A and B are shown apart, each in its own frame.
Chain A
């Protein structure tokens, strides 16, 4: 175990060192520095996290992410499953999903703001509309991949149709639904920053745009680093924790 830790730790430390070297090199270019140095960004961050403002912006952004994510999943799960299992649903909605996927996210955001108004509800709808299509396709694909052989096995043992859905089909979908949820969250949080930049006056996305207007790259990076760290925490601790609990049976998940 010790040697594995060593093998794992050395390249990881090297990767951090390399990243910092590149960043410092970009910051200390003699002619024209490309970026503020990392320690400058960290100093900003250390100062700001002691003030309430950055946390307020984080709060509104997280709320929009959460609502946008919940709304898009609430639409994508039933539609994705229906598309996977019913030819009727495929004929009815299949092309909608493909077309929705082709429409640029920017169009959905502009549409939501102009038709609903510049408010919170529009922001959440815009974020959900931007990602719901790719999420639906994701869930559709996983519904297609349900193992028919296990269903046959269960029927062979005389299990009722209702019980087959609850004990054979849904557990198989759970794995891919979880994967879709992680994927969806990753999409929604990027989209929410965009939504904030285009039509809200608070949130991380708004702050990044604000400092961009002032050409304050240090603050832009500060907010970016802060936000990425928080989202990593949510992704790894919350979603990763749920996934490890749910999928103890997968050898790969146990090693992770």
Chain B
């Protein structure tokens, strides 16, 4: 099951070191349909992560309305998984222990833990590394563990904050393929943040472009309905689209 997102009139201010207030985001409106993969594309420092923090509940001091909704009224709090730029694994727990940590936090019954660990570690190709500690794995493997951790709680909403930008190019290409293959299996709602136009075109159904901050907001929306799924890296239509997206992005830097 997936959820929709509605953000209306969102604004966020930060207190700077000298006491003045810095308005990083304003007039942000964004609707995301259930099961849609939407990418927020913008230069560094435009407040993309700020938006994700508000959605995840990490930040509650903002102006405007943020709704994560199910069709059923009064349903329980939606299950959200958050993927960060770094793997953010607990180094003192094994790979399996890290996935169990998320399952525990998401209140998944203990009886389901072994099957879920097995399934998602298999899905990211790390089934034989369940008893390793994170520091014994490479950076790419650690990020795969964090993807398995995110999917293992079967989230209704996946928030991803530049999860592949710290990886080398080949690893990042593979991880995007992996992400899409996992996502296409049951289409959870995804809000993906990046500054990489290639990535945004390859992955998403729709791109929203933000201008550089402060006073950042969404400037343009680009639908990618014309690109077939499953996506491949050598689709010429994608290259054309990426050139257009990059040109749009450059206008707002």
Q: A150-B88, A250-B135 are in contact. Are A156 and B82 (CB under 8 A)?
A: yes
Q: Which of A154-213 contact B (CB under 8 A)?
A: 154-159, 163, 167-168, 171, 174-175
Give bound CA distance, A174 to B93, whole Å: 13
Question: What separation, in Å, do the CA atoms of A51 and B174 have in the docked complex?
Answer: 71
Q: Are A156 and B133 in contact (CB under 8 A)?
A: no
Q: Contacts A152-B58, A171-B90 given: A248-B84 contact, CB under 8 Å?
A: no
In the complex, whether A149 has a CB less than 8 A from a CB of chain B is: yes
For chains A and B in complex, what number of residue pairs have CB atoms within 8 angstroms? 59
Across the A-B interface, the 7 shortest Cβ-Cβ residue pairs: A156-B82, A159-B105, A157-B105, A249-B133, A153-B88, A249-B92, A157-B102
Question: A18-72: which residues lie under 8 A (CB-CB) from chain B?
Answer: none
Residues of A within 8 A of B107 (CB): 158
Let me know if B93 and A249 touch, CB within 8 A.
yes
Q: Once the chains bind, are B90 and A157 in contact (CB under 8 Å)?
A: no
A residues in contact with B88, CB < 8 Å: 149-150, 152-153
Contact between B153 and A157 (Cβ–Cβ < 8 Å)? yes
- The chain B residue sitting closest to A252, CB to CB, is B135
4 additional A-B residue pairs with CB within 8 Å, beyond A149-B86, A157-B101? A150-B90, A157-B82, A158-B105, A158-B106
Question: What are 5 A-B interface contacts by the 8 Å CB criterion?
Answer: A149-B88, A155-B58, A158-B105, A159-B104, A249-B92
Q: Are B80 and A156 in contact (CB under 8 A)?
A: yes
A247 to B80, CA, bound (A): 31
Query: Chain A: residues with CB nearer than 8 A to chain B?
Result: 149-150, 152-159, 163, 167-168, 171, 174-175, 247-251
Interface string of B86-108 (1 = CB under 8 A from A): 10101111100000011011110
Most chain B CB atoms below 10 A, which of A154, A158, A163: A158
Q: How far is the CA of A74 from the CA of B91 in the complex (A)?
A: 27
Q: Separation in Å of the A158 CB from the closest CB of chain B?
A: 5
Q: Give A171's nearest chain B residue, CB to CB.
A: B92
B245 to A: closest C-beta gap in Å:
28
Q: Which residues of A contact B86 (CB under 8 A)?
A: 149
- Size of the B side of the interface (Cβ < 8 Å), in residues, is 28
Question: Does B56 make an interface contact (CB < 8 A)?
Answer: yes
Whole-angstrom distance from the CB of A150 to the nearest CB of chain B? 6
Q: Is B3 at the interface (CB under 8 A from chain A)?
A: no
Nearest-Cβ distance from residue B21 to partner chain A, whole angstroms? 22
Give chain A residues whose Cβ lies under 8 Å from the Cβ of B61: none
Of all chain A residues, the one with the shortest Cβ separation from B103 is: A157
Asked if B135 contacts A251 (CB within 8 A), the reply is: yes
Q: Which residues of B contact A250 (CB under 8 A)?
A: 91, 135
Q: For A251, list chain B residues within 8 Å (CB).
A: 133, 135-136
Residues in B whose Cβ lies below 8 Å from that of A149: 84, 86, 88
A153 to B86 alpha-carbon distance, docked (Å): 10
B81 contacts A by Cβ under 8 Å: yes
Residues of A within 8 A of B58 (CB): 152, 155-156
What residues of chain B lie closer than 8 Å to A174, measured between beta carbons? 92
Complex-state Cα separation, A145 to B151, whole angstroms: 30
Q: What chain B residues lie within 8 Å of A168 (beta carbons)?
A: 90
**A10 nearest CB across to chain B (Å):** 30
Rounded to whole angstroms, the CA-CA distance of A163 and B90 in the bound complex is 14
Contact: B84 with A249, CB < 8 Å?
A: no
Q: Report the bound CA distance from A247 to B58 in whole Å.
A: 30
Interface centre among A150, A155, A157, by most B CB within 10 Å?
Answer: A157
Contact B106–A157 (Cβ < 8 Å): yes
Q: How far is the CA of A154 from the CA of B58 in the complex (A)?
A: 10
Residues in B whose Cβ lies below 8 Å from that of A157: 81-82, 101-102, 105-106, 153
- B56→A156 contact, CB < 8 A: yes
Query: Could you tell me the distance between the alpha carbons of A150 and B90 in the complex, rounded to whole angstroms?
Result: 7
- List B residues 57-92 near A (Cβ within 8 Å): 57-58, 77, 79-82, 84, 86, 88, 90-92
A163 and B133 contact, Cβ closer than 8 Å, known pairs A149-B88, A168-B90: no
Measured CB to CB, the closest approach of chain B to A34, in angstroms, equals 48
How near does chain A come to B150, taking the closest CB pair, in angstroms?
9
| A249:B91 contact, CB within 8 angstroms | yes
> Closest A-chain residue to B150, C-beta based?
A157
Taken together as a complex, chains A and B put the C-alpha atoms of A12 and B33 apart, in Å, by 68
Distance in Å: Cβ of A172 to nearest Cβ of chain B:
8
Which residue of chain A lies nearest to B79 when distances are taken between CB atoms in the complex? Answer: A158
